[in-house]
Amino acid sequence: MSKIILHIDLNTFFVRCEELVNPTLIGKPVIIGHSGRGGIVSTCSYEARKYGVHSGQPTFKALELCPNAIVIPGHYELYSRKSKEFFNFVKQYSPIIEKASIDECYVDMTKQLSNVKDVVKYLEDFQNKLLQTIGLKCSIGVAPTKFLAKMASDMKKPMGITIIRRKDVRKMLDPLPISSFYGIGKKTAPRLEAIGIKTIGDLAKLVNEDNLEVKNAFGKFYYVIKDWINGYGSDEVDVEPWDPKSIGHSTTFIRDSSDFEEIKGYLRDLSKEVSDEAKQKDKIGSNVQLVLKTNDFKMINRSVKLNKPTNDFETIFNEASILLEKNLNGQEIRLCGVTLQNLIYASDYVEQLSIFDNFDENDEKNATRDLIRELNRRMKSETFMRASDILKEKKHGR
């Protein structure tokens, strides 16, 4: 039997939070984002969207389109607090909830909705209660899979309710532009359009014919897409709390720089932030990554594996600095970042140590590996010398 999965998406969440604090903003064009160098629109009110403002747009450009817009830098503590209120509200309806981001979640409501006659009415009540008690507006998608629920919640905004039944998949998905498909972004969409795939319907047709060109274009993702587009795929709502696999911070400079010491200064601050956050979350990581963005927007990623996981500031900063030194070659840089990767819980690692009685497995492994490599090298060169001796002897007729 199919499940009943909801995708709940808060409408212009950041803007709505600001409106709750300052109601005079209601009905006005509001932009959340920075107006300084490199500032872009994070999100904006529907009033601003009427002028062509959208997220990702440089703020100065948005202000050209909509000079009366009110620009707010963003209050993330407020958003985070309201987000928690939202998730707690949803939990009153079903405990099977998966946070997808700060302002959206999947909910398994199979049990709650199976015997409900008027699902739309039920969900309208949900929306109204959320608005009355927390002050937030949302759009809801209802479907047998997570993918379809996600697509559905996107169809009517704000305060929309959209139900996609499996038998209606073709009818409801096929007319949509290919770029609206979750997982097909601004690189893949133009490639598909170039081979005549303009809508989800076009893609569905070729996928169901097992078209080789399409198959090659997607790699592993192809089989996922084939399920999704036909109304199958994951309906497992993952209740595990989010557990970060990496912690990173980056910053765009006030002006581009190619100066080692200047950039190293930024790395110091970023490394400190990363270290502090990792400590606060009880995480240690075994990879340090340096990210540079050049003035022509090329991304450079360099990383190094440590022989034991850490969240120590000095170690992170040192490793990042070494990577910077190796990779900075006169290029003008506009952004740098530091990320600690392959995170595990520090407490887990301590347990591991105590099991082996302070025996450091990684050090031991590395030492053994180095030794074996050295032996291999020697063996090879000895073999080679002997062979050349033999050749020499042959040549001289001895």
Partner DNA sequence: TCTGGGGTCCTAGGACCC
Q: Produce one character per residue of 375-385: b if its CB has 16 or more CB atoms within 10 Å, e if not.
A: eeeeeeeeeee
Q: Which of 104, 124, 240, 273 is catalytic?
A: 104
> How would you classify the pairing of strands 70-72 and 30-33?
parallel
**Residue 374 annotated among the catalytic residues of the structure:** no
CA of 89: how far to CAs of 94, 102, 134, 159, 240, in Å? Answer: 10, 14, 8, 16, 18
E strands present in the chain: 5-10, 30-33, 41-44, 70-72, 97-101, 104-108, 138-143, 161-163, 246-257, 283-294, 299-310, 333-345
Contacts of 319 (CB under 8 A, 6+ apart): 288, 304, 306
**In the chain, what is the straight-line distance between the N-terminal and C-terminal CA atoms, in Å?**
85
Q: Are 293 and 334 in contact (CB under 8 A)?
A: yes
* Minimum distance from residue 206 beta carbon to DNA (Å): 17
Q: Quick one: 116 or 242, whose CB is closer to DNA?
A: 242
Identity of the amino acid at 351: E
**Binding site residues, DNA, CB under 7 A:** 34, 37-40, 42, 55-56, 58, 60, 100-104, 150, 181-189, 219-221, 244-252, 277, 287, 296-305, 334-335, 337, 339, 369, 372-373, 376
Task: Give CA–CA dist 166/278, Å, rounded.
Answer: 43
Q: Least distance to DNA from the beta carbon of 193, Å?
A: 12
**Shortest spacing between CB 102 and DNA, in angstroms:** 6
127 versus 289: smaller Cβ distance to DNA: 289
Question: Rounded to the nearest whole angstrom, what is the least distance from the CB of residue 304 to DNA in the complex?
Answer: 5
- Tokens representing residue 353 in the block: 């140590």
Nearest approach in angstroms of CB 173 to DNA is: 14
Nearer to DNA, 11 or 110 (CB): 11
| CA dist., res. 68 & res. 45, Å (int) | 13
Task: Considering the complex, state which of residue 113 and residue 293 has its C-beta at the smaller distance from DNA.
Answer: 293
Q: Is 332 left (phi over 0), alpha (psi -120 to 50) or beta?
A: beta
Least spacing, CB of residue 300 vs DNA, in Å: 5
112 or 287, CB closer to DNA?
A: 287
Q: d(Cα 133, Cα 115) in Å, to the nearest integer?
A: 26
Nearer to DNA, 81 or 121 (CB): 81
Query: Which residues are identified as catalytic?
Result: 104
